[in-house]
Amino acid sequence: MAGSGAPETGGVDASGLKVVVIAGTWHEVITNGLIAGAKRVLDATGATYRVVRVPGSFELPVAARAAFDGGADAVVALGVIIRGGTPHFEFVSSAATDGLTRVALDAGKPVGFGVLTLDDEQQGLDRAGLEGSKEDKGEEAADAAIRTALVLRELRG
């Protein structure tokens, strides 16, 4: 697990930022942990946010685009993709990653990437910010989205 070397999260004022947290519905325990971590960061920073659910990680990019079209300053994309015995994992992982990158670049706004690509469910439980988890990728994704939105606001004057 990466974990070591991760930047500190929190401690920023994101008042006035509108954030949409978009989460898939697969692997509910892990996904709910990611959402809880994102909400903790957003609550602590003062950002205005809402949470919406989509069927899976493949649908995250189109929902992120709609969030930006609706006025969001940042999106936090949360999903869980667990490797199986077919190439489906690679297709969905690639589509979600490439799609979210494209949406962020096209919109010129940040997407916090909290899509877990895993070999097994335990890896997700270890990263979901649940009791006993080693990491909180929902928190990290929300923090990255907020910090980047604030940097972009500063750069654009």
Kindly list the catalytic residues. Answer: 88
Amino acid identity at 47: A
Distance CA 63, CA 139 (A): 20
- Residues 9, 59, 152, 73, CA torsion sign: negative
Distance CA 85, CA 83 (A): 7
- Residues 30, 34, 39, 44, CA torsion sign: positive
Angle at 17 (CA atoms; ends 116, 53), nearest 5 degrees: 40
Nearest to 113 by CA among 146, 95, 137, 81: 137
Cβ atoms of 96 and 115 within 8 Å: the answer is: yes
Instruction: List, in sequence order, every residue forming a beta bridge with 80; answer none if it has no partner.
Output: 116
